[in-house]
Amino acid sequence: MTTILFWNLQQKVDAALEGISVESAIDFQKVLRIITFTSRKDAFNMLLANIPLFRSRLGAMLFLISSLLSRGLDCIQADRDDPSQPLVTAPFGHASQEIVNLLLCGEAVPNVFDGKMDLGGGMSLKGIPSDVEVGFLTLLESLNLCKVGQYLKCPKWPIWVVGSESHYTVLFALNPNVQEENELEERESKIRRAFDAQDQSGGGGFIAVEGFQQVLRDTDITFPSDKLDDLCNAGVIVWSEFWQALLQLDKRAGGMKDPTGLMGKKQFTIYHFNGIAKSVLNGSGNTGGSTPIQRPRICKLNVSVPPRWTQDEYLADVVSSSASGSKNDSVLSLAPPVQTACQHAPLVDCIRTRWPRAACSWSGDVPSIV
For 145-198, the pLDDT digits (tens) are: 889 999 999 999 999 999 998 889 999 999 988 888 767 777 888 898 899 888
What three-state secondary structure class fits 22? Answer: coil
* The domain boundary residue, chosen from 48, 71, 94: 71
Q: Cβ of 234: how many Cβ atoms within 10 Å? A: 11
Residue-level pLDDT at 317: 37
> Does residue 22 form part of some domain?
yes
Give the structural domain span for 44.
1-71
Range with the largest mean pLDDT of 52-66, 184-198, 202-216, 344-358: 344-358
Residue type at 278 in one-letter notation = K
Residue-level pLDDT at 364: 85
Residue-level pLDDT at 185: 72
Mean pLDDT of the chain: 80
> Does residue 114 form part of some domain?
no
Residue-level pLDDT at 335: 38
Cβ distance 56 to 13 under 8 Å?
Answer: yes
Angle (CA) 177 181 185, round 5°: 155
> Does residue 37 form part of some domain?
yes
pLDDT digits (tens, 9 = 90+) for 241-266: 998 898 888 878 888 776 655 455 68
Q: What are phi and psi of 37, to 5 degrees?
A: -120, 145
Residue 327: band (very low, low, confident or very high) from pLDDT cuts 50, 70, 90: very low
> Does residue 34 form part of some domain?
yes
Residue-level pLDDT at 80: 93
pLDDT digits (tens, 9 = 90+) for 39-59: 889 989 988 888 888 888 778
pLDDT digits (tens, 9 = 90+) for 78-109: 999 999 988 988 777 788 999 999 999 999 99
C-alpha–C-alpha distance, residues 146 and 11, integer Å: 45
Q: E-assigned strands of the chain? A: 88-89, 94-95, 116-120, 123-126, 135-138, 159-163, 168-172, 206-208, 236-238, 266-274, 280-281, 292-293, 297-305, 359-362
pLDDT digits (tens, 9 = 90+) for 215-243: 999 999 999 999 999 999 888 999 989 98
> Does residue 46 form part of some domain?
yes
Does residue 70 surpass a pLDDT of 60? yes
Residue-level pLDDT at 325: 37
Does residue 76 surpass a pLDDT of 90? yes
> Does residue 210 form part of some domain?
yes
Does residue 6 surpass a pLDDT of 60? no
Residue 339: band (very low, low, confident or very high) from pLDDT cuts 50, 70, 90: very low
C-alpha–C-alpha distance, residues 297 and 347, integer Å: 14
Q: How many domains does the chain have?
A: 2
> Does residue 200 form part of some domain?
yes
Residue-level pLDDT at 306: 78
Q: Burial letters for 88-100: b for 16+ Cβ neighbours within 10 Å, e otherwise?
A: eeeeeeebbbbbb
Residue-level pLDDT at 294: 67
* The domain boundary residue, chosen from 227, 243, 259: 243
* Average pLDDT rounded to a whole number, residues 197-221: 87
* Average pLDDT rounded to a whole number, residues 326-342: 44
Residue-level pLDDT at 266: 80
Q: What is the domain-level CATH number for residue 228?
A: 1.10.238.10
Q: Picking from 26-40, 87-101, 261-275, 277-291, which range would have the lowest pLDDT averaged per residue? A: 277-291
> Does residue 57 form part of some domain?
yes
